[in-house]
Chain A
Amino acid sequence: MPLILDHVNYIYGGDTELAVHALNDINLVIPDNQFIGLIGHTGSGKSTLVQHLNGLLKPTSGAIYFNGEDIHDSDFDKKKLRSKVGLVFQYPEHQLFEIDVFSDVCFGPKNLGLSKKETELRAYEALKQVGLEDEFFYQSPFDLSGGQKRRVAIAGVLAMKPDILVLDEPTAGLDPKGRDEILDQIAKLHNEMGITVILVSHSMEDVAKYVERIIVMNKGSVLYDNAPKEVFKHYKELEAVGLAAPQVTYIMQALKERGLPVNTEVTTILEARDEILRVKGVK
């Protein structure tokens, strides 16, 4: 079910001299079944934007429509919205609290008022979807590794069966392997279940590798909203707002400047490899 943001503004501390215009006339359509990357330097408004998507923050002006209904209408069912737009915050493992992994994942669906059977079925499915083995189900979540804990936390949101899954820097603090595992798992969820995923990330490399659309935030406004290759063409403008292109794009540019006629619109390592092999006539 699509989510539409129509002229959304958000102002912090409106009546004081410290007022901050955190979101400035945001117009976005979040359709079904899309893998979106949301990037922007720290303080650009990403998290504020994300908190509007499930109604945690209310726009100062403008409206947000979920499946055609204004989410701030008095008769709108916010509880339902929160199960349909799942938010996974930074370091979600800090929110784990139950005595074992399985109970923790049950907490969300249980609060939706589902039957015990349905709740447990959903928890089981969600844990399978994030790739956690059965042997961990009845362990304390606090005995798991960082990457495992994070998967349990993501499963807790998945068990609500969201249409849109928003992940705020899901790989922060994980080792490189853990990073790849989580992102591969998320990509799989998107591909197999058709969930729209919004990945908030500071890693241009990860965004380039996984998403089909990038939304770039700067000073509370949307600076770019396009396919990765198009967005990363503006690498100079991105640098000016505290971002960058993937490192491999810079490598290709340097190669071109030094006389190797490569295509510089390359954003992943494997593309770069193939492009260099092509130019060098290997294979």
Chain B
Amino acid sequence: MGIIKTDKLVFEYIRRDDEGNVEGITRAVDEVDLDVKQGDFVAILGHNGSGKSTLAKHINAILYPTEGTVWVDGMDTSEDKNLWDVRQNAGMVFQNPDNQIIGQVVEEDVGFGPENMGVPTAEIWERVEESLKAVGMYEFRKHSPNKLSGGQKQRVSIAGVIAMHPKCIILDEPTAMLDPNGRKEVIRAVRALNLAEGITVLLITHYMEEIIHADKVFVMDKGKIAMEGAPKEIFSQVERLKELRLDVPQVTLLAHELQKSGMKIPDGILTTDELIDALI
């Protein structure tokens, strides 16, 4: 069994009108089977409302399955006794950092997680330092989070999760609000955590460029897994992705446009080097 596994996961919620009468039931996640190996970098794509975030919230027991089972590191997330272990092992970073920062000072905020786990004080400070360095926010350790920009706050949020030394991190559109450099730094930090520390990464994003190095990509639509495979397999299906309201990396799109104009270029080009090799 992988570090994250779901078996026929279903999540339904009841829609009610103003008087509280049941209007209907929405199936946000529909029989999803997922098996993520320890150390993998997995990307989840899907348009707004496709069920990605609902799925992600199951992995650290914010939501419980209506049907089916979710295991994190072998622990069933729906069992109360596993709750804290699940949440420590599967750290979550959300899109909006304002909802995740609670400390008065950056370093306090990052130390909040390990402090709650009962980590000894000296080690908390070590963890705070290494986490802030990993996201390039060490020089802001004495600042108030309120005075940081959105992008800086987001990196502090990520540091707060890393400081808990989770086995996997789930990032739900962590770069949606960042500038190009911030985006690059966050993705670089996440990749480094994945490669150097072997932390399993589950990245939800709308930026196609961020996932060309992923080990596996899942594409969701209407609560189901609509496509799955290596980035190359996924991104070679430009038209299918467009139907699913998604996109491909810019270089893939350029290659696709050249193909349509009659040039002989292989499918699924993901990097500039691959395009150069095809053209020269």
Contact check, B279 vs A178: say whether CB atoms are below 8 A apart: no
Contacts of A176 in B (CB 8 A): 206, 208, 245-247
Output the least CB separation between A127 and chain B (Å).
Answer: 20
A251 to B278, CA, bound (A): 13
Judge whether B21 is part of the interface by a CB distance below 8 angstroms. Answer: no
Contacts of B247 in A (CB 8 A): 176-177
Given contacts A270-B257, A277-B261, A277-B263, contact A247 B251 (CB under 8 A): yes
Contact of B180 among A90, A179, A204 (CB under 8 A): A204
Contact of B47 among A40, A178, A258 (CB under 8 A): A178
Judge whether B275 is part of the interface by a CB distance below 8 angstroms. Answer: yes
A247-266 vs B: 1/0 string, CB under 8 Å?
11011001100111000000
Output the least CB separation between A79 and chain B (Å).
Answer: 29
Given contacts A41-B181, A145-B48, A175-B47, contact A269 B257 (CB under 8 A): yes
A206-217 vs B: 1/0 string, CB under 8 Å?
000000000000
Contact of A280 among B95, B177, B263 (CB under 8 A): B263
Judge whether A70 is part of the interface by a CB distance below 8 angstroms. Answer: no
Contact check, B181 vs A242: say whether CB atoms are below 8 A apart: yes
A276 to B280, CA, bound (A): 11
Contact check, A41 vs B182: say whether CB atoms are below 8 A apart: yes
A244 to B184, CA, bound (A): 11
A18-45 vs B: 1/0 string, CB under 8 Å?
1010000000000000000000111100
Output the least CB separation between A141 and chain B (Å).
Answer: 14
Judge whether A6 is part of the interface by a CB distance below 8 angstroms. Answer: no
Contact check, A242 vs B179: say whether CB atoms are below 8 A apart: yes
Output the least CB separation between B245 and chain A (Å).
Answer: 3
Output the least CB separation between A247 and chain B (Å).
Answer: 4
Minimum CB distance partner of A249 in chain B: B250
Contacts of A260 in B (CB 8 A): 276, 279-280
Contacts of A269 in B (CB 8 A): 250, 253-254, 257
Contacts of B249 in A (CB 8 A): 247
Judge whether A228 is part of the interface by a CB distance below 8 angstroms. Answer: no
A129 to B279, CA, bound (A): 43
Minimum CB distance partner of B184 in chain A: A244
Of B29-37, B71-79, B147-155, B189-197, the one touching chain A = B147-155
Contact check, B206 vs A280: say whether CB atoms are below 8 A apart: no
Contact check, A242 vs B254: say whether CB atoms are below 8 A apart: no
Output the least CB separation between A192 and chain B (Å).
Answer: 25
Judge whether B81 is part of the interface by a CB distance below 8 angstroms. Answer: no
Output the least CB separation between A277 and chain B (Å).
Answer: 6
Judge whether A131 is part of the interface by a CB distance below 8 angstroms. Answer: no
Given contacts A176-B206, A247-B251, contact A42 B279 (CB under 8 A): no
B43-81 vs A: 1/0 string, CB under 8 Å?
000111100000000000000000000000000000000
Judge whether A246 is part of the interface by a CB distance below 8 angstroms. Answer: yes
Given contacts A43-B152, A254-B276, contact A273 B261 (CB under 8 A): yes
Judge whether A174 is part of the interface by a CB distance below 8 angstroms. Answer: yes
Contact check, B182 vs A242: say whether CB atoms are below 8 A apart: yes
Given contacts A145-B48, A145-B49, contact A273 B173 (CB under 8 A): no
Contact check, A248 vs B206: say whether CB atoms are below 8 A apart: no
Given contacts A178-B245, A269-B250, contact A259 B261 (CB under 8 A): no
Judge whether B227 is part of the interface by a CB distance below 8 angstroms. Answer: no
Contact check, A43 vs B206: say whether CB atoms are below 8 A apart: no
Contact of A175 among B95, B246, B257, B279 (CB under 8 A): B246
Contact check, B250 vs A246: say whether CB atoms are below 8 A apart: yes
Contact of A174 among B48, B209, B272 (CB under 8 A): B48
Judge whether A165 is part of the interface by a CB distance below 8 angstroms. Answer: no
Sampled A-B contacts (10; CB under 8 Å):
A42-B178, A178-B47, A178-B48, A202-B178, A239-B181, A260-B279, A260-B280, A272-B254, A277-B258, A277-B261
Minimum-distance CB pairs A-B, first 4: A177-B245, A42-B151, A176-B247, A242-B181
- A interface residues, Cβ below 8 angstroms from B: 18, 20, 40-43, 90-91, 145-147, 169, 172-179, 202, 204-205, 239, 242-244, 246-248, 250-251, 254-255, 258-260, 269-270, 272-273, 276-277, 280, 282-283
- B interface residues, Cβ below 8 angstroms from A: 46-49, 95-96, 147-152, 173, 176-183, 206, 208-209, 242, 245-247, 249-251, 253-254, 257-258, 261-263, 272-273, 275-276, 279-280
